């Protein structure tokens, strides 16, 4: 992969925002609004939402937002398939110079995008991870979740030979051409997307930066969906996507 690329600030770039949504009735409108208010001008935003067969009314809301033009592209999954499948679908619909995943909850703030996009816009990076563990402000929550994240990141780093602090972060901004080149190889259906995309970026020898971001994690009562089973499965995904797939 080329070490040097033309900085995107030399022209108007487009950012494809990939939003996988499943039963996020209480937050989806706020996220769509936050995306459109993100301080990324003159970058143009292409907002793509994939509803993963929501059953709480989210699907009706995103269809209404699409009709209003707030959501530029919308796909309704015919059955629940998981976050990874939803991101793959959205990525296949993207056209942006950069792509970034935005969860439909309120844990990650689009106000952090300028920091995350900066290394890519400047031509220094092919991908940039927003780390929750590099001194950014964050809500204090579960100790064992942080331990699990560090174990997974360490194991992933051992397999990829990277030195990330937060492999599991949602905020992974990637040059669009690279992300779409990787897209046909992506396989993960659920939360295995994070270790898989990290492994494939490392295999492609992408230039990866990491920057601090804020984080407002949710409790399970507030709608958090990932659980310990997904954490255990992540170890298998790291092994699989680095050594087998």
Mean pLDDT of the chain: 89
pLDDT at residue 194 in the model: 95
Percent over 90 (pLDDT), the chain: 74
Residues 6+ apart with CB under 8 A from 217: 107, 138, 139, 141, 142, 145, 224
* Phi, psi (deg, nearest 5) at residue 30: -65, -35
Q: Which two tokens stand for residue 242?
A: 């680095």
User: How far, in Å, CA of 135 to CA of 214, rounded?
Assistant: 9
Region 122-137 average pLDDT: 88
Is residue 228 pLDDT above 80, yes or no?
no
Dihedral (C-alpha) 139, 86, 200, 245: value to the nearest 10 degrees? 120
User: How far, in Å, CA of 201 to CA of 186, rounded?
Assistant: 11
Q: Which two tokens stand for residue 214?
A: 């804020």
pLDDT band at 236 (very low <50, low <70, confident <90, very high): confident
Region 152-169 average pLDDT: 95
Cα separations (Å) of 158 from 92, 121, 174, 242?
30, 29, 22, 10
Q: Give me the CATH code for the 8-243 domain, please.
A: 3.90.550.10
In terms of phi and psi (left: phi > 0; alpha: psi -120 to 50; beta: otherwise), the region of 32 is alpha
Region 8-29 average pLDDT: 90
Is residue 137 pLDDT above 60, yes or no?
no
User: How far, in Å, CA of 35 to CA of 18, rounded?
Assistant: 11
pLDDT band at 19 (very low <50, low <70, confident <90, very high): very high
| Residue matched to tokens 């190889």 | 185
């Amino acid at each position: 992969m080329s070490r040097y690329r033309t900085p995107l600030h030399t022209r108007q770039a487009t950012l494809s925002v990939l939003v996988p949504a499943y039963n996020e009735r209480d937050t989806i409108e706020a996220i769509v609004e936050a995306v459109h208010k993100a301080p990324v001008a003159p970058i143009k935003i292409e907002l793509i939402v994939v509803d993963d067969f929501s059953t709480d009314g989210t699907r009706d809301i995103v269809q209404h937002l699409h009709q209003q033009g707030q959501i530029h592209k919308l796909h309704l999954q015919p059955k629940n398939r998981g976050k990874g499948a939803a991101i793959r679908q959205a990525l296949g619909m993207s056209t942006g110079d950069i792509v970034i995943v935005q969860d439909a909850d309120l844990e990650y703030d689009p106000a952090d995008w300028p920091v995350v996009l900066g290394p890519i816009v400047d031509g220094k990076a092919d991908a940039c991870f927003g780390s929750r563990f590099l001194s950014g402000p964050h809500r204090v929550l579960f100790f064992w979740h942080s331990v699990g994240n560090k174990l997974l990141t360490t194991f992933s780093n051992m397999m990829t030979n990277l030195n990330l602090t937060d492999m599991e972060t949602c905020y992974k901004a990637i040059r669009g051409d690279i992300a779409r080149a990787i897209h046909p190889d992506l396989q993960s259906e659920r939360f295995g997307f994070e270790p898989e995309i990290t492994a494939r970026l490392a295999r492609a020898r992408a230039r990866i930066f990491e920057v601090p971001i804020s984080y407002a994690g949710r409790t399970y009562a507030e709608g958090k969906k990932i659980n310990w089973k997904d954490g255990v499965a992540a170890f298998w995904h790291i092994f699989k996507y680095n050594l087998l797939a």
